[in-house]
Copies of this chain bind each other. A is one copy, B any other.
Amino acid sequence: MSVIKLFSNQDAIPFIGQVHQKRPLIHCITNDVVQNYTANVLLAIGASPAMVVAEQEVEDFVAIANGLLINIGTINSHSAKSMLLAAAKANQTPWVLDPVAVGAALKYRTEIAKQLLTFKPTVIRGNASEILALSGQQSSSKGPDGLDSTDSALDAAMLLAKKYQTIVAITGETDYVTDGEQVYSIVGGDIALTQVTGTGCSLSAIVAALIASSEDHLKATASACFMMKKAGELANKQQGLGTFAMSIIDQLSLFTTNKDF
């Protein structure tokens, strides 16, 4: 059994600095709900987002991007084609798969996600239900908000990571990041992170930016998880969830100068 190492702010700080320094260009093929939030999150952490989605363009753009995000949240037959083209082209470009809502209820996207897996994402970031589904196990999920605990999916995550030689991040109350051997845990955050849309999807974008800025993909992924949890802790939730959603972006944009971090 693996020892789970707790990931700290001291571990994350160098990775946060590197994304600001390298300003990676992140090619996003993501869902319709979070396009704006994702772009603003990437800008807030110092990366450069670009949403290029046409099947005529995705291969050209993967070739010049520093990182790629594929999120299947609002997948359709056209975006599926673009995603498969981009993933096939990304063998030199680190990329993240966010398998939103895969599972028994939604066979179409689950099939596409499995095809995407064959192109070996650098990182898979999902909730416990999605990771269980991708690894072929039973899940209680019926929508994008999984109901399984991350603890219950850790074994599946490790198997999945080994099978596809990838890194798997399962996020929830406690996040786990594993390459199939090592496991980092990230604690903290705030329940309100589950009450605004796009915090998981934009975390996947942060992962793409951090793995595009560092060779140590495992710690870069854990650092991304750390950033979102910390932003959730620091964000203003007294005024309500609308302010909280904006305040997450505020906090992400202040990390390099915020002494409370």
Chain A positions near chain B (C-beta within 8 angstroms): 25, 31-37, 39-40, 43-44, 48-57, 60-61, 64-65, 73-78, 101, 105-109, 142-145, 195-198, 239-243, 245-254
Contact = CB atoms under 8 A, between A and B. Distances in A.
A252 to B, nearest CB: 8
A98 to B, nearest CB: 14
Contact of A43 (B106, B196, B248): B196
Q: Identify the interface centre among A33, A36, A77, A107: most chain B CB within 10 Å of its CB.
A: A33
A31 to B, nearest CB: 7
Given A36-B33, A51-B33, A56 B241 contact: no
A260 to B, nearest CB: 13
B107 A60 contact: yes
B253 A52 contact: no
Nearest to A36: B33
Copies in the complex: 3
A197 to B, nearest CB: 4
Given A101-B52, A143-B50, A197-B36, A108 B57 contact: yes
Given A108-B56, A240-B247, A243-B250, A34 B36 contact: yes
A55 B38 CA distance: 25
B40 A245 contact: yes
Contact of A250 (B55, B143, B241): B241
Contact of A108 (B48, B54, B239, B248): B54
A44 B101 contact: no
Contacts of A34: 36
Nearest to A109: B57
A103 B198 CA distance: 31
Nearest to A257: B240
A195 B33 contact: no
A33 B35 contact: yes
A153 B57 CA distance: 25
B250 A240 contact: yes
Given A197-B39, A242-B253, A144 B50 contact: yes
A66 to B, nearest CB: 10
A36 B251 CA distance: 20
Contacts of A253: 195, 240-242
A137 B242 CA distance: 38
A216 to B, nearest CB: 25
